[in-house]
Chain A
Amino acid sequence: MTYEEALTRLETIVQAMESEELPLESMLARFEEGMNLSKACQAKLAEAELKIKQLEQTQDGTLAVKPASLPELVSEA
């Protein structure tokens, strides 16, 4: 599950808990799911690091992805 998917699901759960009259059982089930989702979202944010790649023209004229070589960026970062 991507961050966006997890976040959207979490928003849906919170909204449902706020507005709808849920049966107690499903309310508790959603509470648990929501807690897990928010943990997962936080984990995704915490472990994330910016990924930079570069597209390069190959011999046959097509484009290929290769790791970015941005030396001056690394030095300044």
Chain B
Amino acid sequence: MARPAKTLWDFGGQGAKPERKIWSVTELTVTVRRLLEKELGLVWVTGEVTNLRIQSSGHMYFTVKDAGAQLSCVLFRGEAMAHRDLLKDGQKVVLNGGLTVYEPRGQYQLRVLAVELQGIGALQAAFERLKQKLLAEGLFATEIKRPLPRFPARIGLVTSSTGAAIRDILHVAGRRNPSLEFLLLPCRVQGPEAAGEIAAAIAGLNYWATGLASRWSDATQRTTVALAAPPKLDLILVSRGGGSLEDLWAFNEEIVARAIFNSVLPVVSAVGHEIDFTISDFVADLRAATPSAAAEILTEGVFSSRAWVQQAPVQLVQMATRKLAQARERQEALQGRLWRTHPRRRLQEKWQRLDDLNAALGKATRQGMRAQLSRCQAARLRLGLLNPARMLQRACEKLLALRKRLAERTSATLNRRQMRLHHAAARLQLLSPLQVLARGYSITMDEHTREVIRETSDIKPGRVIRTKLASGEFRSVAVKDLAGNAPAAAKANKLDEPELFS
């Protein structure tokens, strides 16, 4: 198309008109698509996800943008390798895919094949993915972790020969256990080659020390191989000083994790600072927080024994002295027992026993005599009470008393009888009719019948009546009663009192 310019201001296109080619829209679009696909092909592009839409078909549509532009993207369901979970509105991602044109709309777009996080995020995601994968495989299982020897003497060292880690390790180890030996297999611990070199160094030290390439004869069944001879190293220390996540990245690579998992010798991992955890830390038999901490752990057995070794002689002397003192004490105790069994001592004991018995005997005798004496006195007393003269006297006294009581009883009875007689006589006296007459009363009776006259009707005029007085009696004749209807009053015969009735 280039033509030689005629003037400074000749921009071309003003000359002979080229032949007009008229495209159909489809033709043009297809051409653009082919051009795009051919010229750009697969690209990596970074930006922020926006306007994410997931269709029911499973395809995802979204836009990535930066400050100046935006790009339509589509992630089809069939792309198995893409990490869909990383797509989120506002998420910064790195996309891998092919540029193409969606012809029906004439819109160019990115067909996404892979999604990654950008920078730190990408590393963290990779770390997490590998961690989950190895965890699921059982590479971190506590059952396969091996105890470290208490007194390691030779240690294989996998680190850089110029780094801070080896300096720290040798410094601490030299101070705490200078008898330790290190065998260094230097390697890079940073950069793209580091992971491979670290893994090779671990394998190399293992092979050199044991002649074996792996601890497993069957890694999935976890059957271990047996060592033919004691290894030339006690363990391997894989180490690196502090740095950024990218700096430490080699220790998060799967190849390093596998090398540690396969290591015949126990592996200690000491990478970065306390806060840094790497995949190699999880796979290793022991994780030390820092290189210095690893050196402390590995020298702890000897270091802590140093103080004890220093005071062991003192302890030995103390113990020997104590044991000798115990032996002497026992000997003295036995001598004492022997002395106690000496014959003369036996004899003395027997003498003493005899004396004791003698004393007891005397005491018992005295006590017996006292008892007899008191019994004798009691008997004598009772005998005195049984004297016949006294018994006679008591009988006399009793007789006299009885006699007295008899007399008293007799006279008392007599008196009571007399009294009763008097009383009876007196009462008889009171009841006598003569007594009544004495008080002036009289008794009148029929002369003839001798019946006592109690009423005037009993008297018939002309009847002779006898009246009895206290002293004597007289006869009279009834005349009439005082009412006048009776017979005329009688004329007294004998006149002590001539008118009886008036």
The distance from the CB of B328 to the nearest CB of chain A, in whole angstroms, is 11
A37, B316: Cα distance in complex, Å: 11
- Chain B residues near A60 (CB, 8 Å)? none
Q: Which of B178, B306, B319 contacts A17 (CB 8 A)?
A: B319
**CA–CA, A8 and B302, complex, Å:** 11
Q: Which of A55, A69, A72, A73 has the most CB of B within 10 A?
A: A55
B52 near A: Cβ within 8 Å?
Answer: no
Chain B CB within 10 A, most for which of A37, A50, A69, A76 = A50
Stretch from B102-110, B113-121, B307-315 contacting the other chain: B307-315
Q: Are A52 and B184 in contact (CB under 8 A)?
A: yes
CA separation between A35 and B90, bound complex, in Å? 74
Stretch at the interface among B140-148, B159-167, B337-345, B490-498: B159-167
Query: Which chain B residues have a beta carbon within 8 Å of chain A's beta carbons?
Result: 150-151, 153, 161-162, 166-167, 170-171, 173-174, 177-186, 204-205, 207-208, 302, 305-306, 309-310, 312-313, 315-316, 319-320, 323-324, 327
A55 touches B205 (CB 8 A): yes
15 examples of A-B residue contacts, CB within 8 angstroms: A2-B153, A17-B320, A22-B323, A24-B323, A38-B309, A39-B313, A45-B309, A50-B170, A51-B180, A53-B183, A55-B183, A55-B185, A72-B167, A73-B167, A76-B167
Asked if residues A27 and B208 are in contact (CB atoms below 8 Å), the reply is: no
- Scan residues 42-59 of chain A and give those whose CB is less than 8 A from a CB of chain B: 42, 44-45, 48-55
Tally chain A residues at the interface, Cβ within 8 Å.
39
**B166:A7 contact, CB within 8 angstroms:** no
Contact of A73 with B306 in the complex, beta carbons under 8 Å: no
Cβ-defined partner of B312 (8 Å) among A4, A14, A73: A14
CB-nearest residue of chain B relative to A41? Answer: B309
Given known contacts A4-B151, A27-B320, A50 and B313 CB-to-CB distance under 8 angstroms: no
Instruction: Report the minimum CB–CB distance from A63 to chain B (whole Å).
Output: 5
Give every chain B residue within 8 A of A1 (Cβ-Cβ). Answer: none
Q: Does the CB pair A52–B182 fall under 8 Å?
A: yes
Q: Which residue of A lies closest to B177 (CB)?
A: A48
Q: Are B310 and A42 in contact (CB under 8 A)?
A: yes
CA A24 – CA B319 in complex, angstroms? 12
Q: Could you tell me if A55 and B327 are in contact, using CB atoms closer than 8 angstroms?
A: no
Q: Which residues of B contact A53 (CB under 8 A)?
A: 181-184
Q: Which of A38, A52, A65 contacts B316 (CB 8 A)?
A: A38
A18 touches B319 (CB 8 A): yes
Is there contact, CB below 8 Å, between B179 and A48? yes
Question: Which residues from B are CB-within-8-Å of A37?
Answer: 312
Distance A3 CA – B180 CA, assembled complex (angstroms)? 11
Assess the B180–A50 pair: CB atoms within 8 A.
Answer: yes
Chain B residues whose C-beta falls within 8 Å of the C-beta of A65 in the assembled complex? 183
Contact partners of B185 in chain A: CB under 8 A: 54-55, 63
Complex interface: chain A residues within 8 A of B180 (CB): 50-51
**What residues of chain A lie closer than 8 Å to B312, measured between beta carbons?**
10, 14, 34, 37-38, 41
Q: Please, how many angstroms separate the alpha-carbon atoms of A7 and B302 in the complex?
A: 9
Once the chains bind, are B151 and A7 in contact (CB under 8 Å)?
yes
Known: A45-B309, A73-B167. A54 touches B184 (CB 8 A): yes
Task: List, in ascending order, chain A residues with CB within 8 A of B153's CB.
Answer: 2-4
| Pairwise interchain contact A73-B178, C-beta atoms closer than 8 A | no
Tell me the minimal C-beta distance from B209 to chain A in angstroms.
Answer: 10
Whether B320 contacts A54 by the Cβ 8 Å rule is: no
In this complex, which of B178, B179, B327 has the most chain A Cβ atoms within 10 angstroms of its Cβ?
B179
CB proximity of B221 to chain A, nearest CB, Å = 30
Q: Which residue of A lies closest to B305 (CB)?
A: A7
In whole angstroms, what is the CA distance A50 to B151 when docked?
15
Pick the contact of B323: A4, A17, A35, A63 (CB < 8 A). A17
* Residues of A with C-beta under 8 A to B208: 55, 63
* Docked-complex contact B184 and A55, CB < 8 angstroms: yes
From residue B59, how far is it (CB to closest CB) to chain A in Å? 53
Name the CB-closest residue of A to B313: A38
**B141 to nearest A CB, angstroms?**
30
Smallest CB separation, A34 vs chain B (Å):
5
Report A-chain residues with C-beta under 8 Å of the C-beta of B204: 55, 63
Nearest residue (CB) in B for A52 is B182
- Least CB distance, A20 to chain B, in whole angstroms: 11
B167 and A50: CB pair below 8 A? no
Contact of A28 among B167, B207, B313, B320 (CB under 8 A): B320
Q: Which residue of chain B lies nearest to A17 when distances are taken between CB atoms in the complex? A: B319
Q: Which residues of A contact B171 (CB under 8 A)?
A: 77
